Amino acid sequence: MEINRNELVYSGAVVEFVAVANEYCSFVEQAEGFEKRDFIDKSRKILSLLYYKATLLPLTEPYYDEGCEKFVTEKDWNSVHLAIVKKLGRHNDYPEVFDPLYRDTEDQVGGSIGEDMADIYQDIKDFLMVYRMGTEELMNDSLWECNQNFERYWGQKLVNSLRAIHSLLYGGENLDEEQEEGDDKYDPEKRDTNDWFITQRKKMWYGDDE
C-alpha cells in the first residue's frame, strides 16, 4: 500500500512528537530560570519522552533532493549551550564511554550535557520551524530529515546525556545548591576527570601513576 505522505505529516504520532519537541525547545531556551536540581530532573523526564516519541515517528521518503532550510544560528546554539553549561557547572561533563571495563586507551574522552542538549535543540528546532510552515511537502521532508538525524546523530546524543543525568540524580551528588564550590571557576575546556567513575576504577586497576 502506497504511503500518503501528505496525510502522514498529520498522523497522531507526528503531532505528539511535535508537542514534545516544542516543550523541549521551550525548556532549554528557559534553562536559566530553573534551579539546578529541577533542571536536571526535568531534563531526565523530557529527554526520555522525546526519545520515546521519536521511536514512534512514521517512515517516509523526501519529495525534494535538497535538504530542508535551517533556522538555528550559531548564536542560537551558543546561547542554549552556555545557559545549560552555566546551570550545571561542574556537573556538565561526563566520561564518554559505553563500557566502564573498557581500558584500552589511557585517556578517556569526555562528553558534555550542555553540548548534547544544544545539538538536540538544533535539529529539533529546525524540524519544528519547517513543520510550522504548513506546506505538506516541506513538512514531509522535515519529518524524513528528523528521522534520519535521530537515527544517525541526536538520538545517540540524547541517550548519552540521559545516562549522565541518571548518574547525577542517583549517584549521591549534591545538586540542591545553585552554586557549589568550584562552579564559578568551571571551565568546560579544562575538565577535571578525577571524580569520574571510570577514572576511579582505572586507578584501582593501575594505581595513581597511570
Mean pLDDT computed over every residue of the chain: 84
Give me 154's grid cell.
541526536
- SS3 state at 110: strand
In percent, how much of the chain has pLDDT > 90?
69
Q: Residue 205: which residues within 8 A CB-CB, separation 6 or more? A: 103
pLDDT attached to residue 201: 35
- Of the given ranges (5-9, 15-19, 23-27, 55-59), which has the lowest mean pLDDT? 5-9
The Cα–Cα gap between 96 and 113 comes to 11
Per CATH, domain 5-206 is 3.90.420.10? no
Parse the chain into domains and list their residue ranges. 5-206
Q: What is the pLDDT of residues 34-70, one digit of tens each?
A: 999 999 999 999 999 999 999 999 999 999 999 899 9
Query: Closest by alpha carbon to 50, among 32, 31, 23?
Result: 23
Q: Is 75 exposed, middle or buried (0-12, 13-18, 19+ CB in 10 A)?
A: exposed
Q: What is the pLDDT of residues 141-159, one digit of tens each?
A: 999 999 999 999 999 999 9
Q: Which residue has the higher pLDDT, 210 or 91?
A: 91
50-59, 61-70, 89-98, 200-209: which has the highest mean pLDDT?
50-59
- Of the given ranges (90-94, 122-126, 151-155, 175-179), which has the lowest mean pLDDT? 175-179
Report whether 112 contacts 85 (CB < 8 A): yes
- SS3 state at 94: strand
Query: Closest by alpha carbon to 192, among 135, 108, 130?
Result: 108
- pTM for this predicted structure: 0.80
